[in-house]
Amino acid sequence: MSVQRRATYVVAAGLIFGLVIGAGLGVLWWRLVPRVPLIIRPEGSVPQGFQPEGYAASDVVFALLGLAAGIAVTIGLARIRREHLLSALAAALLASAAGTAAMWWVGSRLGSVDIEGLVATTETEIVVDGPLQVTLPAAYLTWALGAAAVVTILALADVMHGRWSVRSGRSTPP
């Protein structure tokens, strides 16, 4: 029963860590990304495809923050439940889903701009900061990739440690 309970605890910890760290990283993403200037004209035209190179910075920062979070959170979860990496992987992937969603939601809400409302209400040409968004869908997967990489490295380390112990004739402690 205690083994089952500990696996449940690590999964719950993964969910909590993912939500809290993801929300914090959403604020950090919003603060770090350079703003893309957007020209709003009163004639009612909504700009299409404006400055895609400006949004590359948003994607890169989002991806790097997700990757760093995936590595850090998974290391922490593996320390909680090192003897059973499958529960640490499940918790890390749950943290990845919750954290990435929280990071995107917080950051995009903080950096949102009502373009249609501005177009409808402006009488002169104005320049505003464009909305904060992720244009590269692969950026959403970097947290999960970082988590999977950490668990893979830990599993390989366990296998190599087991092979070394067998070859040297040493028994591993329980």
Give the residue extent of every domain in the chain. Answer: 2-168
Amino acid found at 17? F
Q: Which residue has the tokens 């320390």?
A: 79
Quote the pLDDT of residue 1: 46
Nearest one of 144, 136, 139, 2 to 73, comparing CA atoms: 144
pLDDT in tens, 11-55: 888 999 999 999 999 999 999 988 887 777 777 555 555 566 678
Distance CA 78, CA 85 (A): 7
Mean pLDDT, the chain, rounded, equals 84
Q: Interhelix angle for 85-110 vs 52-80, to 10°?
A: 150
Distance CA 59, CA 52 (A): 11
pLDDT confidence tier of residue 166, bands split at 50, 70 and 90: low
SS3 18: helix
Distance CA 147, CA 72 (A): 8
Find the range with the poorest average confidence among 44-58, 74-88, 123-137, 149-163: 44-58
- What average pLDDT does range 105-130 have in this prediction? 81
Please, how many CA atoms are within 13 Å of residue 5, restricted to the half-sphere of its CB? 2
Amino acid found at 144? A
> What is the pTM for the complete model shown?
0.82
Quote the pLDDT of residue 97: 96
Share of the chain above pLDDT 70, in %: 84
**What residues contact 72, with CB distance under 8 A and at least 6 apart?**
21
Quote the pLDDT of residue 46: 56
Residues 92 and 151 sit within 8 Å (Cβ to Cβ): yes
SS3 content of the chain, % helix, strand, coil (to 5): 70, 5, 25
